[in-house]
Amino acid sequence: MKKNNGFLLLESLFSLFLLTTFLTLFLSFSIHTVNKLSDQKQSTYLYQQLYEHSLLLPQKSFKSVELQITSEQIEKELVLCAATPTKKICTK
């Protein structure tokens, strides 16, 4: 009788299936995390630009920035908005 060393075909296929499943889940989780970090980075940048712009308002001097920053008088309250091509935020 021949002694069988190693995996059987079924065990090999099952191991390959588990490895593929793990890698697929890990890759999707990694992509989701990178997208969230990118979104957070953009939001942080917009809030930083709004803060810097609002500090300059009382001095009547405006800093030129890459963003489209607008200020509007809404209900006797100054509202600053900053926008990039993909995101827009406003202070309230």
Q: Dihedral sign, CA of 28, 30, 33, 35? A: negative
Mean pLDDT is lowest, of 10-19, 68-77, 82-91, for 68-77
pTM: 0.50
Residue of 17 and 71 predicted with greater confidence: 17
pLDDT class of 64 with cuts at 50, 70, 90: very low
In the structure encoding, which two tokens stand for residue 70, read together?
Answer: 């607008």
Q: What Cα–Cα distance (Å) separates residue 57 from each residue in 2, 48, 52, 88?
A: 86, 15, 9, 20
| Cα(4)–Cα(1) distance, integer angstroms | 10
| Token duo for residue 20 | 């593929």
Encoded tokens for 8: 């059987």
